[in-house]
Structure 1
Amino acid sequence: MTNNEGKELIAFYNVENLFSPDPPPVHKLDPTISGLRNWDQRKYTNKLFKIAHVFELIQETEGVLPLIIGLSEVQGQKPLEELVALPPFNSTYGVIHFDSMDERGVDVALLYDQTKVEIVSAEPITYFFEISDNNPSNYDTTRDVLHCRINYLSEIINVFVLHLPSKREKNINKPKRQYILNELRGKITDMISRKNEAIIICGDFNEDPDDEMIQNFVRGENLDKILVNPSLELFQKGKFSTFHYKSGLLFDQIILSNHFFEKSSSLQFKESKVFNHHKLATWDEKFSTRPFRTFAGSRYLGGYSDHFPVLTEFTNSLKTKNE
């Protein structure tokens, strides 16, 4: 048995604006579909190759490609299909994506290894927020939460991919994040109590693992721990996936149900990590621990993303027993 026999990975990656190129504007100041500045075919192609290269590095470093990959900050189906056509995916990965009602058209998605995973069902969970009590039709929207039920080795696993509303304008979106997490926790609690199915929640939470909102999310109504967040230990060790000014943040997290810590599970948790490979970091020595981003504000840098991917490693207990 080689070192990678029985090893499986799950990944989440905020890919920072993986959008199709904009058509040439009629007028110089015309608004663009992407909302980005001069987002043309050359920059788009570079972006695709950069994101594909991240997963080549993961395969090179970890010895395997992830079983499933949650993505955020994607816009439309086309970039995802063109991404999985590239090495190292080589069209062996499927794509699950729904257009959300987000005002910028920014979505989440799931890529999955079609040789190992069967999609049982997939649906977007959409949230609406009233702006005015006097006008119910006046509402705000945000990115959907993607819910997929997958079959892996005859075991059903519920996978949720999310990108919660961002921290901006004095954290005006905090109530929205709280509402979505509360609703999601209710759904997850019901799944665990009724069906005892496995749960994976991966995404950009726009909250660190030690924030009260996340701490409450992993607990049930009776404060019993229904979920495990291995990202908390990473954060406490100073492992960050993104940065804001001088602050290191771990908004990107993969949270698991207790199922993956039981001997009966076909996937048994081993460890979580931030994939902060040196090739994904900025060239500036002063900020060498930070991701090499595509944009700094409106200025194009040509990097990978303003986030590092996060990984969770599992042992395939059924395969290792049969070796």
Structure 2
Amino acid sequence: MYLCVFAFAKAALAQPILTTKQYKVKTVAFYNLENLFDVEDDPSINDEASPIMEMTEANRAEVYQMKLTSMARVIRKIGADKSQSAPSLIGVCEFENRKVLEDLVNHPLLIEFDYGIEHYNSPDRRGIDTGLLYKKSDFKVWKSESKELIIYDKSSGNRIYTRDQLVVTGALDGDKMSLIVNHWPSRRGGEQKSRPNRVAAAALNKRVIDSLHSMDAMSKIIIMGDLNDDPINKSVLVTLNAQKNREDVRPQMIYNPYIQMLKDGFNTLAYRDAGNIFDQIMLTYALLNEANQEGFRYYQANIYNPSFMTSKTGRYKGYPLRSFADGGFTGGYSDHFPVYVYLVKEIKETEDLKAPSTN
């Protein structure tokens, strides 16, 4: 898909020059898959607490396939109105293992896109992981690693086993780029009590970002995930020093378009009867127009919240239509809306136009 922008410029002898700017458009997205577990009991993790495993054995396989169809239906549509295709890159969280991602990308609704998978098993107590799906035709993986988040409960001194952070560096249509996929610790026990855990997760992100910048001060880095914090919480606003306004972003700093979205009343989920934007995508300075770099640049950020994914009635009217409730499958999708950004890359083309005839 290409976006076109036309601009006129004056030339000698009043010959107008029409400059046609064309842009390649790629979608980069993030989606919390809400308890995408398979139907098999894995004794090494706490998967028996998953909604699918709580169902009767006869119903599990059918519900699993319906859940995959729901996820695939959403993924193929994210950003398609401008890119005319499914996302080139999509970070995912809250799934059980690599097998469920393989089942997802091989679903009939997604198989045509030929997604590759980057994934590592996390030590999370619930057995859920982070991952990256990428179109093999668009993105070439150069390096992939898992960054372990080691935190401890202050009262007991016991380790809190949570999700690792996935770091992938590669080339998007030839343009070097790094992605950090997150699912930060939950607010279990209350926001204030659990806050240090998410600050620690942000600090790990910051170390990864600083390390990438130390190798290349103009690194193009995309930070994405379910942060279990809003864009205005300490972890994002202070620890990451993410900026609301693009004009305030300097080299090696981070821009977060979801700060303004939160202020404008948008949400990606409902937590304790309130709307939040826990799902966010942030970008380093090098991806902004202000950096004057070649290759892909940030164009626009969005929340994918179409009507078919939205609760129409009841307590959570207007919020995501979740897939599990009251011990059963609702036919919904996830308790989070996906988020996505468009990246564009200019293709330069200039056409000289003759002055109109005066005859």
Q: Give the TM-score band, short-chain normalised.
A: 0.7 to 0.9
Cα drift, residue 168 of structure 1: 1.9
* Root mean square deviation, CA, Å: 2.7
Q: CA deviation at 1:132?
A: 7.5
Residue number in structure 2 paired with 1:11: 29
2:237 match: 215
Q: Quick one: which amino acid aligns to residue 129 of structure 1?
A: I
Q: Is the 8 A contact 1:7 1:64 kept in 2?
A: no
In structure 2, relative to structure 1, the CA distance for the partners of 1:59 and 1:132 (3 Å cut) is closer
State the one-letter code of the partner of 2:38: S
For residues 77-107 of structure 1, what are the alpha-carbon distances to aligned partners after superposition, in whole Å with 9 as ceiling and x for unaligned? 1110111112234361101111110011100
Q: Secondary structure at the match of 2:209?
A: helix
Say whether 1:242 aligns with 2:242. no
Q: Aligned match of 1:54 in 74, 78, 88? A: 74
Equivalent in 164, 172, 181 of residue 161 of structure 1: 181
Letter in 1 for 2:126: R
Partner residue, 1:98: 120
Which of 125-134 and 35-44 deviates more?
125-134
Aligned AA (1:181) = A
Could you say if the C-alpha distance between residues 204 and 2 of structure 1 is closer, same or farther in structure 2, counting changes exceeding 3 Å? closer
Q: Which residue of the other structure, out of 112, 129, 135, is the alignment partner of 1:107?
A: 129
**Cα 1:33–1:217 shift into 2, 3 Å:** same
Q: Is the 8 A contact 1:71 1:109 kept in 2?
A: yes
Distance 1:158 1:286, change over 3 A: same
Q: Which 5+ residue runs of structure 2 have no aligned equivalent?
A: 5-22, 243-248, 351-359
**Cα distance in 2 between the residues matched to 1:84 and 1:126:** 26
1:190 alignment counterpart: 211
Counterpart in the other structure of 1:67 = 88
TM-score (norm 2): 0.79
CA distance in 1, matches of 2:153, 2:32: 28
Range with greater deviation from structure 2 (97-106 or 277-286): 277-286
| 8 Å CA contact 1:13, 1:70 repeated in 2 | yes
**Alignment CA distance shift 1:57-1:206 (3 Å):** same
Shift of 1:152: 2.0
Q: Does 1:77 align with 2:98?
A: yes
C-alpha change, 1:170 and 1:132, in structure 2 (3 Å) is closer
Counterpart residue number, 1:148: 168
**Matching residue's letter, 1:38:** M
> Deviations for 1:134-167, whole angstroms, at most 9, x for unmatched residues?
98xx522110100111112333211000000011
Residue by residue over 1:172-193, the C-alpha shift from the partner in whole angstroms, topping out at 9 and shown as x without a partner, is 3221111121122123123224
Partners of 2:322 and 2:264 in 1: CA distance: 23
The C-alpha deviation readout for 1:169-212, integer Å capped at 9, x for no partner, is 12332211111211221231232243122111100011111122
Counterpart of 1:255 (choices 259, 264, 282) is 282
Aligned length: 312
The structure with more radius of gyration: 2
Q: Offset of 1:131 from its aligned partner? A: 4.5
CA, structure 1 residues 122+115, in 2 after alignment: closer, same or farther (shift >3 Å)? same
Distance in 2 between residues matched to 1:71 and 1:114, nearest whole Å:
17
Q: Is the 8 A contact 1:22 1:33 kept in 2?
A: no
Task: State the 4+ residue runs in structure 1 displaced beyond 6 angstroms.
Answer: 132-135
Gaps of 5+ in 1: 25-30
Structure 1 CA distance, aligned partners of 2:169 and 2:110?
Answer: 25
Cα distance change of structure 1 residues 189 and 132 upon mapping to structure 2, 3 Å threshold: closer
How many Å apart are 1:282 and its aligned residue? 1.8
Q: Secondary structure at the match of 1:215?
A: helix
Indicate how the Cα distance of structure 1 residues 67 and 91 shifts in structure 2: closer, same or farther if over 3 A, else same: closer
Contact 2:55 2:327 in 1 (8 A): no
* One of 45, 53, 56 as aligned partner of 2:65: 45
Kept in 2: contact 1:7–1:316 (CA 8 A):
yes
Residue 116, structure 1, aligned to residue 138, structure 2? yes
Rounded to whole Å, the distance in 2 between the matches of 1:85 and 1:212 is 39
Task: Give CA-to-partner distance per residue, 1:253-309, whole Å, 9 cap, x none.
Answer: 001000111331411111101000111112427744211101235443231000000
> Are 1:20 and 1:34, in contact at CA under 8 Å, matched by a contact in 2?
no
Judged with a 3 Å threshold, the aligned counterparts in structure 2 of structure 1 residues 2 and 160 are, in CA distance, closer, same or farther, namely closer
Aligned-partner residue type, residue 35 of structure 1? S
Identify the residue that residue 303 of structure 1 maps to in structure 2: 332
